[in-house]
Structure 1
Amino acid sequence: MVDMAQDAQTISSKQFHLEVGVDDWRVVSSGAQAVFRASSLRHAASLVDPISAAAEEHGILPDIDVRPEAVIVRVPPWAIGGIPPAAPRFAAAVSAAAARLGLRADPGAVQSVSIYIAQHSEADVRPFFLAALGYLPVGETDAVEALRTAPDLAFNPVTGDEPKRGRSHFDVFVPAAQAQARVDAALAAGGRLVDDSQAPAFWTLASPDNHGVDIASWLDTDG
């Protein structure tokens, strides 16, 4: 997915987590993210104005997902290819507001989901999926849903494969502390371990009918 390495406009995951007031937040493939549990839709919605005020103050364009049970706040990386330098200050302000309003942070609920579409080396399938799904291109190989409400896509060339066969799988990015438990739960639910040679970075699993899922232990303090 998008490289979130530090450049003139971005900070690394490690730099984000070294800042004060960001303990509620985790960095995954969709950027810095926090989940705040709520007791009702009205309770959840009470955090929207403080988020908007913090966003305006710090020049951040967050995604806010308000549900009766929780508010999900993300700082998406797509616009500048990484984490904005002001993101930690924004995150700290949102966390402080959530605490004042009695919304409980739940870092273990943070995750992002990607669909990896494998394509034969002689095929270019991204234009088809952009058109069919109404997604927008990101960089040379990725795509996102226009309102960022659905899983993002990555297109990975496969050399030596049969042109008539498409191979795709899900990538589930979770904070490092949650990865092993997610793997164990998937195996207990009938999954099969295909490859753990890259663990704890990621495990490749298969469903009982052989659909692929990679569970990635997103190393959100790297860099």
Structure 2
Amino acid sequence: MSESANESGWISAAEFHRAPDVSAWRVMGTGPQAVFTATSIVHAASLVAPVVAAAERFGVLPDVDVRPEGVVVRIPDRTFEGIPAAAPGFAAAVSIAAAELGLIPTPELAKSIQLYVAQHSQTDTRPFFLAALGYDELGDTDAVDPVRCGPQLAFNPIAGDIQGRGRSHLDVYVPADEAQARVDAAIAAGGRLVDDSRAPDWWTLASPDNHGVDIAAWPDVDG
């Protein structure tokens, strides 16, 4: 762990990835995430107790999603300050437990989805979405499902745009080593590349009827 991490309590994605035994994990828009495939829901659920034990040991507050196909473990970003310095230890403990249980790490399935709500620079639409979706404020510009089941929302003004017209799009966060393949697949499925000037951080795509999607890998390589 770096001296800066010890002082601040937070680390970057690059510092997280340099830690031992975290190769199954990727850093998505909502924080570090690992997916382990299973043979049944009972098999997937067998990881819950080790996750809870690791959470208690390292002081991390994870989200655990158990499905018949596998289990997803997330270290949610609740503050925008970075990844908790204790996250690598927690992630390593979970990965070791998963291996002992015969759960298969499948990092290519990791992802998070954010709805990017574009709005006129003189309009604040966040209160409407908070009320309509039952979401909570996150930072100064975002909104989040209180139990983090629904997609996160980001609200960003577009200066000089036409008031009364929305220009929202989806941000799809994927592992950095999966991003180009996801872009290629979307284009092959009828999409078009709108802008790759910020690649490999993100690519802006459009569907055949011009709905916007950003394929974003930057959280997985940031810092």
TM class, shorter-length: over 0.9
Q: How far, CA to CA, are the matches of 1:218 and 1:40 in structure 2? A: 33
Distance 2:131 2:214 in 1: 26
Give runs of aligned pairs for residues 74-85 of structure 1, distance below 5 A: 74-79=74-79, 81-85=81-85
After TM superposition, the structure 1 = structure 2 runs for residues 119-158 of structure 1, keeping only pairs within 5 Å, are 119-158=119-158
SS in 2 for 1:137: strand
Counterpart CA distance in 1 for 2:13 and 2:184 is: 26
Residue 15 (str. 1) matches residue 24 (str. 2): no
Q: What amino acid is the match of 2:108? A: G
Answering whether residue 170 of structure 2 is matched by residue 181 of structure 1, we say: no
- Give 1:221 deviation, angstroms: 3.5
1:28-58 superposed Cα distances (whole Å, 9 cap, x missing partner): 1110110000000000000000100110111
Deviation for aligned residue 1:196: 1.4
1:80 positional shift: 6.6
- The answer to whether the 8 A contact 1:10-1:80 is kept is no
Letter in 1 for 2:81: G
How far apart are residue 222 of structure 1 and its match? 3.0
The one-character-per-residue Cα deviations of 1:149-170 (angstroms, maximum 9, x if unpaired) are 1110000101111111011000
- Which residue of structure 1 aligns with residue 204 of structure 2? 204
Contact 1:36 1:104 in 2 (8 A): yes
Q: Give the RMSD, CA atoms, in angstroms.
A: 1.4
State the AA in 2 paired with 1:94. Answer: V
Return the letter of the residue paired with 1:208: P
Q: State the alpha-carbon separation in 2 of the partners of residues 11 and 168 from structure 1.
A: 31
Aligned to 1:222: 222
| More moved, 210-219 vs 40-49 | 210-219
Q: What is the one-letter code of the residue matched to 1:220?
A: D
Matches within 5 A, 1:4-153: 8-79=8-79, 81-153=81-153
Does structure 2 retain, via aligned residues, the 8 Å contact 1:192–1:208? yes
* Count of aligned pairs between the two proteins: 219
Contact 1:9–1:80, Cα closer than 8 Å, also in 2 = no
Per-residue CA deviations over 1:34-90 (Å, capped at 9, x if unaligned) read 000000000000000010011011111000000000100000111473211111110
Q: TM-score, normalised by structure 1?
A: 0.94
Local SS of the residue matching 1:155: strand
Tell me what 2:168 maps to. 168
Q: Work out the CA distance in 2 between the residues paired with 1:221 and 1:213.
A: 20
Return 5+ residue gaps in structure 2 as ranges. Answer: none
> How far off its partner does 1:177 sit?
0.9
Instruction: Give the structure-2-normalised TM-score.
Output: 0.94
Distance 1:190 1:221 in 2: 28
Gaps of 5+ in 1: none
**What secondary structure, in the 3-state scheme, does the structure 2 residue paired with 1:167 have?**
coil
- Displacement of 1:211 in angstroms is 0.5
